[in-house]
Structure 1
Amino acid sequence: MTARDLGLPVRVPGDDLPAAVTVWEVGPRDGLQNETAVVPVAVKLEFLDRLADAGLTTIEATSFVHPKWVPQLADAEELLAGLSKRDGVRYPVLVPNERGLDRALAAGVRHIAIFASATETFASRNLNRTLDSQMEMFDPVVSRAVAEGMDVRGYVSMCFGDPWEGAVDPAAVVSVGQRLLDMGCSQLSLGDTIGVATAGQVAALLSAFAAAGTAMSALAVHFHDTYGQALANTLAALRHGVTTVDSSAGGLGGCPYAESATGNLATEDLVWLLDGLGVDTGVDLDKLADTSAWLAGELGRPSPSRVVRALRG
């Protein structure tokens, strides 16, 4: 009997796991920004609609990064204008600076994210900033957004390993993360940008945040699957009380500023794991697999997701 025959994983509830997990879908933004060719707006809009139809309630739609740096998302305003929003679904956008915030406000966006670095080198290469000066850039963005009634998420990249600096000290990550929370971010997404984290590292970092007084409800995890550890790392995070996990439908994406970063954790692979452990996500795995198989056809290549390949062939 194959996975296709089974259709869904056998459910055996796990110990010390949350009853439910929020899947923060990043495919339309973090996934499509890495495509070599620009995906038509019509395809992006259908992708967003299909993801919502599959039960995802947080779908990161696009980015207001300057088109020079991410030309694949230069159509952000057009996309948001054409988006058929659904009740109960959030559509956050990435905002790099005050100019990006201006664009987000003009587009009627209510949920934004900012993107910080835990290391000096990546802050310099990605933002042309130091660790301290990146905060000077983010402070007016977050304060203005909060004053406008927006919800702000803070991404922290290079939380476990940096291709230029090596292993990252958990204390450095906690320092950056706490500054973002103090600034007004409602949640931190801890990113394994190049996919080198191990379950032990994940546990150590989350323990460091707990020791600093950070509630696990304020943390999310964002794993890349470079060394095949994304699901193991996710399980370690869940056992520490994290209840929000980032993933990308079909395993799309990586990081355009870190060449060693491969694809994000595939949403289908995540949902298969959580379904099997009896953790509720509200996601229809069958519809989600159909969506990623369809998008793979639009992109002209097979889906990287193991579950999509097993279910759809």
Structure 2
Amino acid sequence: MSALITEEEKNRNDVDRFFEHAPVPADFDQIKSSLQKFTQKQESNGVKIVCVTSGGTTVPFEKNTVRFLDNFSSGNRGASCTEHFLRQGYAVVFLSRIGSATPFARKFQKLLSPSYDLKFLQYLKVQDDGHLAIEFGTEKSKEQSAAQILKEYEGVCKESRLINVPFHTLGEYLVMLKMIALEMNLIKQPPLFILAAAVSDFYIPYEELETHKIQSGSGLALELEQVPKLLGVLRKEWAPNAMVVSFKLETDHNILIKKAKDAITKYGVHLVVANELHSRYEEVFLVSSEEEEKISRGENEELESELVHVLSDRHDTFLTKHTM
């Protein structure tokens, strides 16, 4: 027991050290104010709130960053989950990596082009009156799909049920996640956290970073520290009233399920979405302390459609137990 306490105390010290030195984003206060208005409005309207994190985090080598390590993630799972939660009637706080997939816009990328390139420009036309238009030519099915996507997005905006909180670095992600968790913990109806972001496991503490660009005249040796374990802190301190769902990715199913259950035992998360690398778009396993449930992609549907349906049901059950 003493070893466990020592480990927890060390992690607590590491967490405190991390946030003592982590720089606060320049727009932190503005985003916090917008988030407070957003959550207050949803609560007054009786709307369930979920925070979905999405995309990878970077680890800078310098304070004036030129070089960095990147934990790659397309962000598609988080963006897709966000769309499906919105369809379930939720309001969504979307904490996402700048440049990663975003809800609704990702579908435009599939229809037009993955990036703002020459292919994308082919769809843009300047009309005689000087206005800009998107023209699909003979691709009428694409035009209809694009119109439907935009209509759905406009409906969400009209209802003010989506707010985006951007990040780029590991520090920005964790600073914003802490702020969101503390604010959402003030809501009477327990919120839901879907932690789908790919968070770096290792980093260079901010106070140890070089100020300017590391020169390339000689070799480079890096010593990285382990990122403090924050799942337990989120669960027990920042948002103890919330239902927390984390994600685990591995290549071996037996290791995957074991690690998922370890996360439940060690950090107190309620559910873990466990997915194997090569089958992650076809099936996942929803792991709880009692069982593991296989969720598969339906025909002509994204896997996230069924996943969010199940998670929404689990959240309803959670709300029933915690509001009686």
TM-score, L = length of structure 2: 0.34
Which structure's CA Rg is the greater one?
2
- Greater strand share, structure number: 2
